[in-house]
Amino acid sequence: MSLQLPFSGLRILDISQGIAGPYCTQILWQQGASVIKVEPPEGDWGRNVGVVRNGHSALSVSYNAGKQGLCLDARPEAGKQLLRRLALQADVVVQNFRPGVAERLGVGYAALADLKPDLVYVSISGYGADGPYAQAPGSDSVMQADTGLMFANQDASQTPRRIGMLLADISTALYAAQQLAAALYQRLARGRGTHIEISLFEACAALQINDIAAFTLANGRPSGAVSAPNGVFNTANGQLSVIALNNDQFARLCRALDRPDWLTDERFQSNEKRMAQRDFLHAEMASQLITADSEIWEARLRQHDVLHAPVRDYAAVAAHPQTEHLGMLQSIDQPGMGTLQLPGLPGASGRRPMQAAPGIGQHSTEVLAAAGLDAAEIAALLDSGVIRQAVAASTSEVHA
């Protein structure tokens, strides 16, 4: 494409699986990088998690869109040598094995950096490279429990709950992408690479900095809501989230609900006082909002500039007027799945359009030819089973 994106020309070897590593590299792909997705013969384990269809899951499509797919068996020596050769041609290597695995495969940071000092290398793990938990298995649910995310998401009966999305993995991917961008800036300025080591455990803690501070200040109590009223209320035909963060916003809410008596009630003269009366305010609002449809209340709340929103499912988000205005969703023709409407990286001017995610080994021979292997070498690797080339499900795909 004609637009010169920030990471155009950057070569990334992605030997990670799941979410945190793949999403990190997919973010940079959207910003112009060329990403080779290396998978073992059985494929990235993320292909078999959640909603699965024809060799892909929603997860594997979302976090690998646009990449080139190489199927490589790194267990035999020839596979290790090939992986190392590709790593030394890359500007960036991203892996999320347990500590020690990359070294056993011959693609640990120290071995590669000796030969390529400007390499930027990203290691993503559950708990870090060393320490008492370094070899402990980590997953999104494990991290949500072990880092306080479930504690922060307690229900009214104080039962910890898992947040209903893969927040631990996703937040780690975002932090990793930010640190990778910073390392590339440092590489440009100083001519040297670096080793970024980031764990899900650290990323989840960083994500909760405010809640950790509030927990300390509240003597060990979960922080919960920061204002009142602040909740989700049933209407006659749906649900609305309604919030007042300060006195001015509370006054606007009072006028929208036609509750002038609340404006002068001493119990509601500050957020601290309203927090003490939260149950009363919520009960009163619940009994009032249930009497009319959401559309009626939305019009009233908009008229008085009250913080509010309907609780939407993803179909409703797709139909949101602002979604269309921003061009937020992009069509991806994913072989074996049909057309998907997915959001890309925020900020359309700095990204390329999303493309289909690869099948296992869809671009193996193409990747190796670009890496300088001749036809005989590639044929020998195919014959030995070290690499595998899939038959493309669609000839119309184009990978930048």
Of the pLDDT bands very low, low, confident and very high (cuts 50, 70, 90), residue 93 is very high
Of the pLDDT bands very low, low, confident and very high (cuts 50, 70, 90), residue 130 is very high
Segment 220-233 shows an average pLDDT of 84
Domains of the chain: 11-209+327-388 (3.40.50.10540), 230-318 (3.30.1540.10)
Of the pLDDT bands very low, low, confident and very high (cuts 50, 70, 90), residue 157 is confident
- pLDDT, residue 85, reads 98
pLDDT mean across residues, the chain: 93
Share of the chain above pLDDT 70, in %: 96
Indicate if the alpha-carbon torsion angle 253, 259, 260, 265 is positive or negative. Answer: negative
Per residue in 57-92, pLDDT tens? 999 999 999 999 999 999 999 999 999 999 999 999
Contacts of residue 366, defined as CB under 8 A and 6 or more positions apart, other chains included, come to: 68
Residue 197 has pLDDT above 90, yes or no: yes
**CA–CA distance from 323 to each of 12, 26, 173, 186, 353 (Å)?**
31, 22, 24, 36, 16
- pLDDT, residue 281, reads 97
- pLDDT, residue 155, reads 85
Tell me the DSSP string of 300-334: HHHHTT-EEEE---HHHHHT-HHHHHHT-EEEEEE
Report the amino acid identity of residue 125.
S
Of the pLDDT bands very low, low, confident and very high (cuts 50, 70, 90), residue 394 is very low
Torsion, CA 160, CA 161, CA 163, CA 164, rounded to 10:
180
Measured between alpha carbons, how far is 234 from 130 in angstroms, rounded to an integer? 49
Indicate if the alpha-carbon torsion angle 188, 31, 388, 97 is positive or negative. Answer: positive
Segment 124-136 shows an average pLDDT of 95
Per residue in 247-298, pLDDT tens? 999 999 999 999 999 999 999 999 999 999 999 999 999 999 999 999 999 9
Measured between alpha carbons, how far is 255 from 261 in angstroms, rounded to an integer? 10
- pLDDT, residue 397, reads 42
Q: What's the burial of 110, exposed, middle or buried (CB within 10 Å: 0-12/13-18/19+)? A: exposed
- pLDDT, residue 223, reads 62
pTM (global) more than 0.85: yes
Distance of CA 251 to the CA centre of its chain: 38
The answer to whether the beta carbons of residues 66 and 353 sit under 8 Å apart is no
Give the helix ranges, DSSP H, for the chain.
20-30, 58-64, 77-89, 101-104, 109-115, 140-146, 149-152, 167-190, 200-207, 209-217, 247-256, 260-264, 271-276, 278-289, 294-303, 314-318, 321-326, 364-370, 375-384
Q: What's the burial of 299, exposed, middle or buried (CB within 10 Å: 0-12/13-18/19+)? A: exposed
Contacts of residue 174, defined as CB under 8 A and 6 or more positions apart, other chains included, come to: 23, 24, 27
Per residue in 20-70, pLDDT tens? 999 999 999 999 999 999 999 999 999 999 889 999 999 999 999 999 999
- pLDDT, residue 222, reads 64
Helix (H) or strand (E) segment spanning residue 69:
strand 68-72
- Residue 122 pairs in a beta bridge with 94, 196
Question: Which of residues 265 and 393 earns the better pLDDT score?
Answer: 265
Closest CA to 174 of 135, 202, 137: 202
Segment 120-137 shows an average pLDDT of 95
Residue 400 has pLDDT above 80, yes or no: no
Residue 1 has pLDDT above 70, yes or no: no
Segment 113-141 shows an average pLDDT of 95
